[in-house]
Structure 1
């Protein structure tokens, strides 16, 4: 859901690729991977405006997106490296 929301906006898509290093071909092959899912949610959570807009667009509370990101980050809170 979150990735679909990002990909609907060309500016967000370009920024997502620039910041994460994940290109469409990478995403197709790794979408089920926790590191990719974490990178997607990290991207949204890193910018309050993006987080609020995504939450609104996805009909979710922002806290739910943050909680999902936190769950993927694991007990140390660091999660996976983007583009790894």
Structure 2
């Protein structure tokens, strides 16, 4: 796992939880797949790919209401999701 600041959840674990939240709504899941160009099989095959996880977080950042709702659901600050994306992009 990719740990950022020592007291934070690893970036990849947080991104996976955010991805699960994103996919829990069919409309949002469809938008994610459409905007990222991924298909369901590709997404499943690349769940551990830091670039894919970063793209999923970037998808949330692009629509602030989703970013905020996801953060609230995961009980983290929106900034933690943004930080996780930056960490995943630097790998």
User: How would you bin the TM-score normalised by the shorter chain?
Assistant: 0.7 to 0.9
Query: How many pairs are equivalent?
Result: 75
- Of 5, 11, 22, which residue of structure 1 is paired with 2:38? 22
Unaligned runs of 5+ in 1: 80-84
Structure 1 stretches of 4+ moved >4 Å? none
Unaligned runs of 5+ in 2: 1-16
Structure 2 distance, partners of 1:46, 1:20, is 12
Asked if 1:65 is matched to 2:81, the reply is yes
Cα RMSD between the aligned structures? 1.3
**Partner residue, 1:45:** 61
TM-score normalised to the size of structure 2?
0.77
